[in-house]
Homo-oligomer: A and B are copies of this chain.
Protein backbone atom coordinates (compact mmCIF):
# COMPACT_ATOMS: atom_id res chain seq x y z
CA UNK A 1 0.00 0.00 0.00
CA UNK A 2 1.06 3.55 -0.60
CA UNK A 3 -0.25 6.78 0.89
CA UNK A 4 0.88 10.29 1.65
CA UNK A 5 0.59 9.64 5.35
CA UNK A 6 0.45 6.48 7.43
CA UNK A 7 -1.12 6.73 10.85
CA UNK A 8 -0.41 4.20 13.58
CA UNK A 9 -3.37 3.65 15.87
CA UNK A 10 -7.10 4.13 15.32
CA UNK A 11 -7.83 5.74 18.64
CA UNK A 12 -9.38 9.20 18.70
CA UNK A 13 -6.02 10.89 18.06
CA UNK A 14 -5.10 8.85 15.01
CA UNK A 15 -8.57 8.98 13.51
CA UNK A 16 -8.81 12.76 13.94
CA UNK A 17 -5.40 13.22 12.34
CA UNK A 18 -6.40 11.00 9.40
CA UNK A 19 -9.69 12.78 8.90
CA UNK A 20 -8.07 16.22 8.93
CA UNK A 21 -5.47 15.09 6.41
CA UNK A 22 -8.03 13.49 4.11
CA UNK A 23 -10.14 16.64 4.26
CA UNK A 24 -7.03 18.58 3.38
CA UNK A 25 -6.65 16.51 0.19
CA UNK A 26 -4.05 14.03 1.38
CA UNK A 27 -4.13 10.31 1.07
CA UNK A 28 -4.01 8.68 4.50
CA UNK A 29 -4.10 5.14 5.81
CA UNK A 30 -4.66 4.20 9.46
CA UNK A 31 -3.07 0.99 10.73
CA UNK A 32 -4.79 -0.40 13.81
CA UNK A 33 -3.40 -3.32 15.79
CA UNK A 34 -6.75 -4.45 17.17
CA UNK A 35 -9.79 -5.79 15.38
CA UNK A 36 -11.69 -2.63 16.27
CA UNK A 37 -11.24 1.13 16.38
CA UNK A 38 -11.36 3.35 19.46
CA UNK A 39 -8.26 2.48 21.46
CA UNK A 40 -9.11 3.32 25.06
CA UNK A 41 -12.72 4.09 24.00
CA UNK A 42 -14.81 0.95 23.94
CA UNK A 43 -18.50 0.15 24.20
CA UNK A 44 -19.48 -2.99 26.07
CA UNK A 45 -22.93 -4.46 26.16
CA UNK A 46 -25.56 -4.34 28.89
CA UNK A 47 -28.05 -7.14 29.48
CA UNK A 48 -30.69 -6.34 26.89
CA UNK A 49 -28.10 -5.19 24.40
CA UNK A 50 -27.64 -1.52 25.18
CA UNK A 51 -24.14 -0.04 25.11
CA UNK A 52 -22.07 0.67 28.20
CA UNK A 53 -18.68 2.35 28.26
CA UNK A 54 -15.90 0.06 29.45
CA UNK A 55 -13.18 2.58 28.59
CA UNK A 56 -13.00 6.39 28.67
CA UNK A 57 -16.43 7.90 28.88
CA UNK A 58 -16.85 11.41 30.23
CA UNK A 59 -16.65 14.86 28.69
CA UNK A 60 -17.07 18.18 30.42
CA UNK A 61 -17.01 21.95 30.08
CA UNK A 62 -13.77 23.37 28.73
CA UNK A 63 -13.11 20.28 26.64
CA UNK A 64 -13.74 22.31 23.54
CA UNK A 65 -11.97 20.04 21.07
CA UNK A 66 -13.91 16.91 21.84
CA UNK A 67 -17.20 18.75 22.32
CA UNK A 68 -16.83 20.36 18.89
CA UNK A 69 -16.06 16.98 17.37
CA UNK A 70 -19.09 15.38 19.02
CA UNK A 71 -21.32 18.09 17.55
CA UNK A 72 -19.69 17.79 14.14
CA UNK A 73 -20.25 14.06 14.08
CA UNK A 74 -23.94 14.53 14.87
CA UNK A 75 -23.59 12.89 18.27
CA UNK A 76 -25.04 14.20 21.50
CA UNK A 77 -24.31 14.13 25.20
CA UNK A 78 -26.37 13.77 28.33
CA UNK A 79 -25.57 14.57 31.93
CA UNK A 80 -24.05 12.12 34.39
CA UNK A 81 -26.59 11.49 37.15
CA UNK A 82 -25.63 13.94 39.89
CA UNK A 83 -28.57 14.25 42.24
CA UNK A 84 -28.92 13.13 45.82
CA UNK A 85 -26.32 12.54 48.45
CA UNK A 86 -22.77 11.45 47.71
CA UNK A 87 -20.94 9.10 50.06
CA UNK A 88 -17.44 9.84 51.31
CA UNK A 89 -15.29 7.88 53.71
CA UNK A 90 -12.12 9.65 54.73
CA UNK A 91 -9.94 9.40 57.79
CA UNK A 92 -12.32 7.01 59.53
CA UNK A 93 -15.48 9.10 59.02
CA UNK A 94 -18.36 8.39 56.73
CA UNK A 95 -20.53 11.19 55.40
CA UNK A 96 -23.46 11.34 53.04
CA UNK A 97 -23.53 14.86 51.68
CA UNK A 98 -24.79 17.12 48.95
CA UNK A 99 -22.71 19.63 47.09
CA UNK A 100 -18.95 19.66 46.66
CA UNK A 101 -17.45 19.08 50.05
CA UNK A 102 -17.88 15.95 52.17
CA UNK A 103 -18.69 16.45 55.83
CA UNK A 104 -15.30 16.08 57.42
CA UNK A 105 -13.68 17.57 60.49
CA UNK A 106 -13.06 21.31 60.22
CA UNK A 107 -9.32 20.64 60.30
CA UNK A 108 -9.58 18.27 57.35
CA UNK A 109 -11.76 20.66 55.37
CA UNK A 110 -9.32 23.50 55.98
CA UNK A 111 -6.40 21.24 55.05
CA UNK A 112 -8.03 20.10 51.82
CA UNK A 113 -9.02 23.66 50.95
CA UNK A 114 -5.52 25.00 51.53
CA UNK A 115 -3.86 22.07 49.77
CA UNK A 116 -6.12 22.37 46.74
CA UNK A 117 -5.56 26.11 46.53
CA UNK A 118 -1.80 25.55 46.69
CA UNK A 119 -1.97 23.00 43.91
CA UNK A 120 -4.02 25.38 41.78
CA UNK A 121 -1.52 28.20 42.38
CA UNK A 122 1.31 25.86 41.48
CA UNK A 123 -0.46 24.80 38.30
CA UNK A 124 -1.04 28.40 37.23
CA UNK A 125 2.73 28.85 37.07
CA UNK A 126 3.20 25.85 34.77
CA UNK A 127 3.03 26.70 31.05
CA UNK A 128 1.04 23.87 29.47
CA UNK A 129 3.02 23.90 26.23
CA UNK A 130 6.35 23.60 28.00
CA UNK A 131 5.97 22.57 31.64
CA UNK A 132 9.72 21.99 31.80
CA UNK A 133 10.15 25.77 31.52
CA UNK A 134 8.12 26.54 34.67
CA UNK A 135 9.85 28.76 37.22
CA UNK A 136 10.53 25.97 39.70
CA UNK A 137 10.44 23.11 37.22
CA UNK A 138 13.61 21.38 38.40
CA UNK A 139 12.56 21.43 42.05
CA UNK A 140 9.06 20.18 41.27
CA UNK A 141 10.25 17.54 38.84
CA UNK A 142 12.77 16.29 41.36
CA UNK A 143 10.11 15.20 43.85
CA UNK A 144 7.21 12.82 43.68
CA UNK A 145 3.70 14.19 43.95
CA UNK A 146 3.47 12.04 47.08
CA UNK A 147 6.28 14.08 48.63
CA UNK A 148 4.45 17.26 47.62
CA UNK A 149 1.26 16.03 49.31
CA UNK A 150 3.08 15.10 52.51
CA UNK A 151 4.62 18.56 52.60
CA UNK A 152 1.49 20.50 51.81
CA UNK A 153 -1.28 18.59 53.55
CA UNK A 154 -1.14 17.81 57.21
CA UNK A 155 -4.21 15.85 58.27
CA UNK A 156 -4.80 12.17 57.71
CA UNK A 157 -8.10 12.85 55.95
CA UNK A 158 -6.57 15.59 53.81
CA UNK A 159 -3.74 13.39 52.62
CA UNK A 160 -6.16 10.53 51.99
CA UNK A 161 -8.34 12.86 49.97
CA UNK A 162 -5.43 14.00 47.78
CA UNK A 163 -4.27 10.43 47.32
CA UNK A 164 -7.75 9.36 46.32
CA UNK A 165 -8.15 12.11 43.77
CA UNK A 166 -4.73 11.25 42.36
CA UNK A 167 -5.84 7.64 41.93
CA UNK A 168 -9.13 8.81 40.43
CA UNK A 169 -7.54 11.23 37.98
CA UNK A 170 -4.37 9.33 36.99
CA UNK A 171 -5.06 5.69 37.93
CA UNK A 172 -1.65 5.93 39.57
CA UNK A 173 -0.29 6.64 43.02
CA UNK A 174 1.00 10.07 44.08
CA UNK A 175 4.32 8.36 44.82
CA UNK A 176 4.65 7.16 41.23
CA UNK A 177 4.73 10.48 39.46
CA UNK A 178 6.64 13.71 39.26
CA UNK A 179 5.08 16.62 41.15
CA UNK A 180 5.68 18.67 37.98
CA UNK A 181 3.59 16.20 35.97
CA UNK A 182 0.76 16.50 38.52
CA UNK A 183 0.95 20.30 38.34
CA UNK A 184 1.06 20.21 34.54
CA UNK A 185 -1.98 17.96 34.47
CA UNK A 186 -3.95 20.29 36.70
CA UNK A 187 -2.83 23.20 34.54
CA UNK A 188 -3.83 21.40 31.36
CA UNK A 189 -7.36 21.00 32.75
CA UNK A 190 -7.57 24.59 33.99
CA UNK A 191 -7.58 23.68 37.66
CA UNK A 192 -8.23 20.94 40.17
CA UNK A 193 -12.01 21.40 40.36
CA UNK A 194 -12.48 20.94 36.60
CA UNK A 195 -10.62 17.63 36.94
CA UNK A 196 -12.54 16.21 39.85
CA UNK A 197 -16.06 17.58 39.64
CA UNK A 198 -19.06 15.93 38.08
CA UNK A 199 -21.40 18.80 37.15
CA UNK A 200 -19.09 21.58 36.05
CA UNK A 201 -16.13 19.24 35.64
CA UNK A 202 -14.61 16.44 33.61
CA UNK A 203 -17.26 13.92 34.68
CA UNK A 204 -20.23 16.10 33.71
CA UNK A 205 -21.51 14.47 30.53
CA UNK A 206 -21.64 11.19 28.66
CA UNK A 207 -21.93 10.49 24.96
CA UNK A 208 -25.31 9.12 23.88
CA UNK A 209 -24.77 5.58 22.64
CA UNK A 210 -21.38 5.34 24.31
CA UNK A 211 -18.11 7.18 23.76
CA UNK A 212 -16.75 4.65 21.25
CA UNK A 213 -19.29 6.10 18.82
CA UNK A 214 -16.89 9.00 18.35
CA UNK A 215 -14.26 6.65 17.00
CA UNK A 216 -16.78 4.59 15.05
CA UNK A 217 -18.16 7.70 13.37
CA UNK A 218 -14.69 8.95 12.45
CA UNK A 219 -13.74 5.52 11.12
CA UNK A 220 -16.99 5.41 9.16
CA UNK A 221 -15.98 8.59 7.34
CA UNK A 222 -12.53 7.15 6.63
CA UNK A 223 -13.93 3.90 5.25
CA UNK A 224 -11.36 1.44 3.98
CA UNK A 225 -8.55 3.83 4.80
CA UNK A 226 -8.68 2.20 8.26
CA UNK A 227 -6.97 -1.20 8.27
CA UNK A 228 -7.71 -3.41 11.29
CA UNK A 229 -5.62 -6.29 12.67
CA UNK A 230 -2.50 -4.51 11.49
CA UNK A 231 -0.07 -4.03 14.40
CA UNK A 232 2.91 -2.00 13.22
CA UNK A 233 6.07 -3.76 14.29
CA UNK A 234 8.68 -1.78 12.40
CA UNK A 235 9.08 1.63 10.81
CA UNK A 236 11.92 2.27 8.42
CA UNK A 237 12.40 5.92 7.70
CA UNK A 238 14.49 8.43 5.85
CA UNK A 239 14.06 12.19 5.89
CA UNK A 240 11.33 12.02 3.29
CA UNK A 241 9.84 8.55 3.49
CA UNK A 242 8.50 5.91 5.82
CA UNK A 243 7.85 2.23 5.38
CA UNK A 244 5.66 0.58 8.01
CA UNK A 245 5.60 -3.15 8.49
CA UNK A 246 2.72 -5.16 9.88
CA UNK A 247 2.22 -8.92 9.67
CA UNK A 248 -0.51 -8.29 7.07
CA UNK A 249 0.68 -5.38 5.02
CA UNK A 250 3.47 -3.00 4.27
CA UNK A 251 2.71 0.66 3.81
CA UNK A 252 4.92 3.24 2.17
CA UNK A 253 4.25 6.87 2.83
CA UNK A 254 5.94 10.24 3.00
CA UNK A 255 5.12 10.87 6.65
CA UNK A 256 3.85 8.89 9.62
CA UNK A 257 1.84 9.86 12.68
CA UNK A 258 2.38 7.55 15.64
CA UNK A 259 -0.79 7.87 17.69
CA UNK A 260 -0.36 5.20 20.36
CA UNK A 261 0.54 5.56 24.06
CA UNK A 262 4.25 6.33 24.69
CA UNK A 263 5.17 2.92 26.16
CA UNK A 264 3.68 1.26 23.07
CA UNK A 265 5.39 3.68 20.70
CA UNK A 266 8.60 2.44 22.37
CA UNK A 267 7.78 -1.13 21.33
CA UNK A 268 7.83 -0.38 17.63
CA UNK A 269 11.21 -0.95 16.03
CA UNK A 270 12.50 2.12 14.22
CA UNK A 271 15.24 1.86 11.60
CA UNK A 272 17.31 3.86 12.03
CA UNK A 273 16.75 3.96 15.77
CA UNK A 274 15.33 7.10 17.33
CA UNK A 275 17.56 9.69 19.01
CA UNK A 276 18.55 9.05 22.62
CA UNK A 277 16.33 11.85 23.97
CA UNK A 278 13.22 10.35 22.42
CA UNK A 279 14.07 6.81 23.45
CA UNK A 280 14.88 7.78 27.02
CA UNK A 281 11.61 9.73 27.19
CA UNK A 282 9.43 6.79 26.25
CA UNK A 283 11.24 4.59 28.77
CA UNK A 284 9.96 6.96 31.45
CA UNK A 285 6.27 7.55 30.68
CA UNK A 286 4.51 4.50 32.13
CA UNK A 287 0.78 3.94 31.95
CA UNK A 288 -1.57 4.16 34.89
CA UNK A 289 -3.37 1.01 35.96
CA UNK A 290 -7.10 0.63 36.35
CA UNK A 291 -9.72 -2.08 36.33
CA UNK A 292 -13.05 -0.53 35.39
CA UNK A 293 -16.16 -2.35 36.58
CA UNK A 294 -19.74 -1.69 35.54
CA UNK A 295 -22.13 -3.40 37.96
CA UNK A 296 -25.64 -3.70 36.58
CA UNK A 297 -28.93 -3.87 38.50
CA UNK A 298 -32.57 -4.10 37.43
CA UNK A 299 -32.98 -0.48 38.41
CA UNK A 300 -30.91 2.31 39.96
CA UNK A 301 -32.15 1.45 43.45
CA UNK A 302 -29.80 3.91 45.17
CA UNK A 303 -31.64 6.82 43.60
CA UNK A 304 -34.83 5.94 45.51
CA UNK A 305 -32.74 5.93 48.69
CA UNK A 306 -31.63 9.49 47.95
CA UNK A 307 -28.11 8.59 46.82
CA UNK A 308 -26.37 9.96 43.75
CA UNK A 309 -24.45 6.73 43.23
CA UNK A 310 -21.22 8.66 43.73
CA UNK A 311 -19.00 7.27 46.44
CA UNK A 312 -15.38 7.67 47.48
CA UNK A 313 -13.43 5.89 50.16
CA UNK A 314 -9.92 5.79 51.51
CA UNK A 315 -10.50 2.36 53.02
CA UNK A 316 -12.01 0.40 50.14
CA UNK A 317 -10.40 -0.87 46.95
CA UNK A 318 -13.44 0.08 44.90
CA UNK A 319 -12.73 3.63 45.92
CA UNK A 320 -14.33 5.72 43.18
CA UNK A 321 -17.91 5.02 42.14
CA UNK A 322 -20.47 6.79 39.93
CA UNK A 323 -23.99 6.17 38.67
CA UNK A 324 -23.51 4.94 35.13
CA UNK A 325 -27.13 4.20 34.29
CA UNK A 326 -27.77 4.81 30.59
CA UNK A 327 -29.79 7.73 29.31
CA UNK A 328 -32.97 5.64 29.19
CA UNK A 329 -32.88 5.19 32.96
CA UNK A 330 -32.61 1.41 32.92
CA UNK A 331 -30.97 -0.87 33.78
CA UNK A 332 -29.31 0.69 36.82
CA UNK A 333 -25.55 0.77 36.56
CA UNK A 334 -22.89 1.62 39.12
CA UNK A 335 -19.45 2.07 37.65
CA UNK A 336 -16.34 2.02 39.76
CA UNK A 337 -12.62 1.95 39.39
CA UNK A 338 -9.90 -0.13 41.00
CA UNK A 339 -6.97 2.23 40.53
CA UNK A 340 -3.24 2.24 41.22
CA UNK A 341 -2.38 -0.08 44.13
CA UNK A 342 -6.01 -1.14 44.35
CA UNK A 343 -5.71 -2.42 40.78
CA UNK A 344 -2.51 -4.30 41.67
CA UNK A 345 -4.23 -6.08 44.54
CA UNK A 346 -7.43 -6.76 42.61
CA UNK A 347 -5.62 -8.07 39.52
CA UNK A 348 -3.95 -10.73 41.68
CA UNK A 349 -7.32 -12.13 42.76
CA UNK A 350 -9.28 -14.65 40.76
CA UNK A 351 -12.37 -13.17 39.10
CA UNK A 352 -14.79 -14.58 41.67
CA UNK A 353 -12.85 -13.13 44.59
CA UNK A 354 -12.49 -9.80 42.83
CA UNK A 355 -16.23 -9.69 42.20
CA UNK A 356 -16.89 -10.53 45.84
CA UNK A 357 -14.69 -7.64 47.01
CA UNK A 358 -16.29 -5.17 44.64
CA UNK A 359 -19.80 -6.16 45.66
CA UNK A 360 -18.87 -5.99 49.34
CA UNK A 361 -17.60 -2.45 48.82
CA UNK A 362 -20.76 -1.48 46.95
CA UNK A 363 -22.91 -2.97 49.71
CA UNK A 364 -20.87 -0.94 52.19
CA UNK A 365 -21.78 2.21 50.31
CA UNK A 366 -25.34 1.51 49.20
CA UNK A 367 -26.68 -1.35 51.32
CA UNK A 368 -27.30 -5.07 50.75
CA UNK A 369 -29.19 -4.69 47.47
CA UNK A 370 -25.83 -3.93 45.87
CA UNK A 371 -24.86 -7.57 46.43
CA UNK A 372 -27.23 -8.84 43.74
CA UNK A 373 -26.37 -7.44 40.35
CA UNK A 374 -27.71 -8.83 37.10
CA UNK A 375 -24.38 -8.30 35.35
CA UNK A 376 -20.77 -7.59 36.27
CA UNK A 377 -18.69 -6.15 33.42
CA UNK A 378 -15.02 -5.64 34.19
CA UNK A 379 -12.09 -4.52 32.07
CA UNK A 380 -8.46 -4.59 33.18
CA UNK A 381 -6.70 -2.17 30.86
CA UNK A 382 -3.20 -3.16 31.97
CA UNK A 383 -3.86 -6.61 30.50
CA UNK A 384 -4.74 -5.22 27.08
CA UNK A 385 -1.81 -5.74 24.76
CA UNK A 386 -2.51 -2.56 22.81
CA UNK A 387 -3.16 -0.23 25.75
CA UNK A 388 -1.14 -1.73 28.63
CA UNK A 389 -2.74 0.61 31.11
CA UNK A 390 -5.12 3.51 31.47
CA UNK A 391 -6.16 6.26 31.75
CA UNK A 392 -2.95 7.57 30.26
CA UNK A 393 0.79 7.71 30.70
CA UNK A 394 2.35 9.84 33.41
CA UNK A 395 5.85 11.24 33.77
CA UNK A 396 8.15 9.84 36.43
CA UNK A 397 10.36 12.34 38.30
CA UNK A 398 13.07 14.03 36.26
CA UNK A 399 11.50 13.08 32.97
CA UNK A 400 9.82 16.29 31.84
CA UNK A 401 12.81 18.50 32.64
CA UNK A 402 15.25 16.10 30.99
CA UNK A 403 13.28 14.87 28.00
CA UNK A 404 9.99 16.81 27.81
CA UNK A 405 10.74 18.61 24.53
CA UNK A 406 11.00 15.22 22.79
CA UNK A 407 7.32 14.54 23.53
CA UNK A 408 5.95 16.34 20.47
CA UNK A 409 9.08 17.12 18.45
CA UNK A 410 8.97 15.23 15.14
CA UNK A 411 11.87 12.93 14.26
CA UNK A 412 12.43 13.23 10.52
CA UNK A 413 9.10 12.18 8.94
CA UNK A 414 7.72 10.81 12.24
CA UNK A 415 5.10 12.83 14.10
CA UNK A 416 3.71 12.07 17.54
CA UNK A 417 0.07 12.17 18.58
CA UNK A 418 -2.01 10.75 21.42
CA UNK A 419 -3.54 12.36 24.46
CA UNK A 420 -0.22 12.31 26.33
CA UNK A 421 1.15 14.82 23.82
CA UNK A 422 -1.65 17.36 24.37
CA UNK A 423 -1.36 20.73 26.07
CA UNK A 424 -5.00 20.87 27.21
CA UNK A 425 -6.71 17.95 28.95
CA UNK A 426 -3.75 15.66 28.45
CA UNK A 427 -5.00 12.16 29.29
CA UNK A 428 -8.59 12.88 28.22
CA UNK A 429 -10.47 12.41 24.96
CA UNK A 430 -10.13 16.14 24.50
CA UNK A 431 -6.36 15.92 24.57
CA UNK A 432 -6.43 13.08 22.06
CA UNK A 433 -8.48 15.21 19.66
CA UNK A 434 -6.19 18.22 20.14
CA UNK A 435 -3.17 16.05 19.43
CA UNK A 436 -4.72 14.63 16.27
CA UNK A 437 -5.43 18.08 14.90
CA UNK A 438 -1.95 19.28 15.78
CA UNK A 439 -0.21 16.30 14.21
CA UNK A 440 -2.29 16.73 11.05
CA UNK A 441 -1.24 20.39 10.85
CA UNK A 442 2.41 19.41 11.21
CA UNK A 443 2.14 16.80 8.51
CA UNK A 444 0.17 19.02 6.14
CA UNK A 445 2.80 21.75 6.50
CA UNK A 446 5.56 19.24 5.82
CA UNK A 447 3.82 17.80 2.75
CA UNK A 448 3.30 21.12 0.97
Contacts and interface: CB of A to CB of B under 8 A. Distances in A.
Interface of A: 138, 141-144, 146-147, 172-176, 233, 263, 266-267, 269, 273, 275-277, 279-280, 283-284, 286-287, 289, 341, 343-344, 347-348, 380, 382-383, 385, 388-389, 396-399, 402-403
Contacts of A146: 142-143, 397-398
Contacts of A399: 176
Sorted from nearest, which 10 A-B pairs have the closest CB atoms? Answer: A142-B175, A276-B382, A283-B286, A176-B398, A396-B396, A175-B398, A273-B385, A142-B146, A284-B286, A263-B283
Most B CB within 10 A of own CB, among A174, A269, A283, A343:
A283
A269 B175 CA distance: 29
Contacts of A144: 142-144, 147, 397-398
Contact of A402 (B341, B389, B402): B341
A103 to B, nearest CB: 29
7 contacts: A142-B146, A143-B144, A146-B398, A173-B402, A176-B397, A267-B269, A273-B383
A383 B276 contact: yes
A175 B399 CA distance: 9
Contacts of A347: 275-277
A289 B284 contact: no
Contact of A175 (B141, B280, B348, B382): B141
Given A144-B142, A266-B266, A344-B402, A176 B396 contact: yes
Given A275-B383, A284-B286, 20 more contacts: A142-B144, A143-B146, A143-B147, A144-B147, A144-B397, A144-B398, A146-B397, A172-B398, A175-B397, A175-B398, A176-B396, A233-B233, A267-B267, A273-B383, A276-B289, A277-B348, A283-B388, A283-B389, A341-B402, A396-B396
Contacts of A267: 266-267, 269
B287 A283 contact: yes
A396 B284 contact: yes
Contact of A279 (B280, B284, B388): B388
A426 to B, nearest CB: 18
Copies in the complex: 2
A389 B275 contact: no
A396 to B, nearest CB: 4
Nearest to A389: B280
Contacts of A175: 138, 141-143, 397-398
Contacts of A286: 280, 283-284, 396
A279 B143 contact: no
Nearest to A398: B176
A175 B284 CA distance: 13
A396 B287 CA distance: 13
A411 B275 CA distance: 32
A226 B205 CA distance: 58
A382 B279 contact: yes
A349 B400 CA distance: 20
Contacts of A276: 289, 343, 347, 380, 382-383
A147 B175 CA distance: 12
A141 B284 CA distance: 16
Contact of A269 (B233, B284, B383): B233
A347 B281 CA distance: 14
Nearest to A347: B276
A141 B176 CA distance: 9
A398 B382 CA distance: 17
A442 B279 CA distance: 32
A147 B283 CA distance: 22
Given A143-B146, A277-B347, A398 B173 contact: yes
Contacts of A402: 173, 176, 341, 344
A233 to B, nearest CB: 7
A296 to B, nearest CB: 24
A343 B266 CA distance: 21
Most B CB within 10 A of own CB, among A344, A396, A402:
A396
Contact of A142 (B147, B275, B385, B403): B147
